[in-house]
Amino acid sequence: MPGDQKRAPVYEALQAFEKKRVVPFDVPGHKRGRGNPELAELLGEKCVRMDVNSMKPLDNLCHPISVIREAEELAAEAFGAAHAFLMVGGTTSAVQAMVLSSVKRGDKIILPRNVHRSVMGALVLCGAVPVYVDPDCHERLGIPLGMRVEDVRRAMERNPEARAVLVNNPTYYGICSDLREIVKLAHGHGMLCLADEAHGTHFYFHPGLPVSAMEAGADMAAVSMHKSGGSLTQSSLLLTGPAVSEGQVRQMINLTQTTSGSYLLLSSLDISRRNLALRGERAFGRVIQMAEYAREEINRIGGYYAFSRELVNGGSVYDFDVTKLSVNTLETGLAGIEVYDLLRDEYDIQIEFGDLGNILAYLSIGDRPREIERLVSALSEVKRRFQKDQAGMLCQEYIEPQVVISPQEAFYGEKESVPLDAALGRVCTEFVMCYPPGIPILAPGELVTEEVLRYIHYAREKGCSMTGPEDPGINRLNVWKGER
């Protein structure tokens, strides 16, 4: 029997619980906000009253049997999945549970190198070995593209013992691979197909957008509801197909996810799923219209290139997410991160991220045309006031990694701290990345090359927010002491 998508079981249970005025002799210790009046003032009394602990009327996230279970079933139906897990550790925890459920120590997993750090973190935890399919890089934009089917097929033929393949669907920039064909290849080789859909929640709710992972037949997908889906930050979904054991995945989730699931996050997932199921197609239709209008206006300014479906080539760019307002800035003589900083500091506009050559303005269901106009106007002003000579600009965003040992072996192995430039030729044991988007420049087990060091120095000089290493200034790097 189909579920009633107008319902929100977790939210309804919270409302019913609030009306009972239960005396709390359990956690959390702020006791509905009374013990922390400043917190209640900041968040509002209704919010802190709903910050409650697991109990029979509200179910338990670790082993749901009532309202959370119902919410998961409604989410699964809305997203076309066999099962959906409500996640309160962000899509990072969903990605890690997905990988941990698929591979173990020594297993191979095929994936693009431009994955989020959460994937690499999962490999550190489980000991699986990455087999990278190096994506093409767009010469003008300097961004990594999708995985070509023929490259995935070649990787599978060379590594027939691999257990899974992971696909970004889409990338941060909106690039999509041929997911249907990759799923067919994976299943034909006895492998699971996993999708990192952190930036693809909306694919499930509008026919004009690229194919979703579940529609394409993928076995699991990590869906970041708090990004384009409208739920609270840190809330996410893990979707699974019919061939995946729900019980096994639940066990993997419970290895790392909190036993004190936030009902604020859970109810936001429940309410947001309901909103998308009832109004998602209309809402994302508006987002598409706003993004297309913004692209047209930005490209009229000159110096910027707001790219879109013209990149589609049937291979490394099989499809494109038109809601992603990605803009190349290099012809203005400004790095993307410089435009990112100028928009915030000079015009009070906070966009999602800027890298060496591009910016991304993240559009979703809460945006309005007036903000689009303000962004377009600000970009025009940035060009007029701050445009520079383009000479010496670096645009290359993808550096082919040289993997020496597994991420787990490097991360847990004996290491030493050396000055950054002295790490040349050594094996890195930690992550180095610009955040956002959180795609590692270096990951544990990879060789530190001259190209990598040049990129790190340039990114710091341009003002990228560098994260990952034990040394927050990234003046030193931890490297492996073992024999290569």
Reported as a single tens digit per residue, the pLDDT across 325-334 is 999 999 999 9
d(CA 237, CA 241): 13
164-168 and 108-112 as β-strands: parallel, antiparallel, unpaired?
parallel
Residue 409: what pLDDT? 94
d(CA 46, CA 182): 47
d(CA 4, CA 434): 43
User: What mean pLDDT comes out for the span 128-154?
Assistant: 92
User: What mean pLDDT comes out for the span 347-365?
Assistant: 94
Least confident of 201-210, 394-403, 422-431: 394-403
Residue 395: what pLDDT? 61
Domains and CATH numbers, the chain: 60-277 (3.40.640.10), 281-386 (3.90.1150.10), 407-480 (3.90.100.10)
* Distance separating the N- and C-terminal Cα atoms of the chain: 58
Is the pLDDT at 371 greater than 80? The verdict is: yes
Q: What are phi and psi of 168, to 5 degrees?
A: -80, 125
Residue 398: what pLDDT? 67
Do 309 and 320 contact (CB within 8 A), yes or no?
A: yes
Residue type, 394: L
User: What mean pLDDT comes out for the span 462-476?
Assistant: 85
Other beta carbons within 10 angstroms of residue 181's beta carbon come to 14
Is the pLDDT at 341 greater than 80? The verdict is: yes
Is the pLDDT at 441 greater than 90? The verdict is: no
SS3 of the chain: the string is CCCCCCCCHHHHHHHHHHHCCCCCCCCCCCCCCCCCHHHHHHHCHHHHHCCCCCEHHHECCCCCCCHHHHHHHHHHHHHCCCEEEEECCHHHHHHHHHHHCCCCCCCEEEEECCCCHHHHHHHHHHCCEEEEECCCECCCCCCECCCCHHHHHHHHHHCCCCCEEEEECCCCCCEECCHHHHHHHHHHCCCEEEEEECCCHHHHHCCCCCCCHHHHCCCEEEECHHHHCCCCCCCEEEEECCCCCHHHHHHHHHHHCCCCCCHHHHHHHHHHHHHHHHHHHHHHHHHHHHHHHHHHHHHHHCCCEECCHHHCCCCCCCEECCCEEEEECHHHCCCHHHHHHHHHHHHCCCCCEECCCEEEEECCCCCCHHHHHHHHHHHHHHHHHHCCCCCCCCCCCCCCCCECCCHHHHHHCCEEEEEHHHHCCCEECCCEEECCCCEEEECCCEECCHHHHHHHHHHHHHCCCEECCCCCCCCEEEEECCCC
Is the pLDDT at 63 greater than 80? The verdict is: yes
pLDDT in tens, 171-222: 999 999 999 999 999 999 999 999 999 999 999 999 999 999 999 999 999 9
d(CA 170, CA 228): 12
User: What mean pLDDT comes out for the span 370-398?
Assistant: 87
Sign (positive or negative) of CA dihedral 422, 426, 427, 432: positive
Residue 394: what pLDDT? 64
Residue 294: what pLDDT? 98
pLDDT in tens, 75-113: 999 999 999 999 999 999 999 999 999 999 999 999 998
Q: Is 123 exposed, middle or buried (0-12, 13-18, 19+ CB in 10 A)?
A: buried
Residue 19: what pLDDT? 87
Percentage of the chain lying above the pLDDT 90 cut = 81
Residue 24: what pLDDT? 87
User: What mean pLDDT comes out for the span 125-133?
Assistant: 95
d(CA 439, CA 464): 13
Cis bond before residue 469 (omega within 30° of 0): no
Sign (positive or negative) of CA dihedral 305, 441, 165, 155: positive
Residue type, 460: R
Q: What are phi and psi of 9, to 5 degrees?
A: -60, -40
pTM above 0.75, yes or no: yes
- Residues with Cβ within 8 Å of residue 264, at least 6 apart in sequence: 47, 50, 51, 232
- Residues with Cβ within 8 Å of residue 368, at least 6 apart in sequence: none
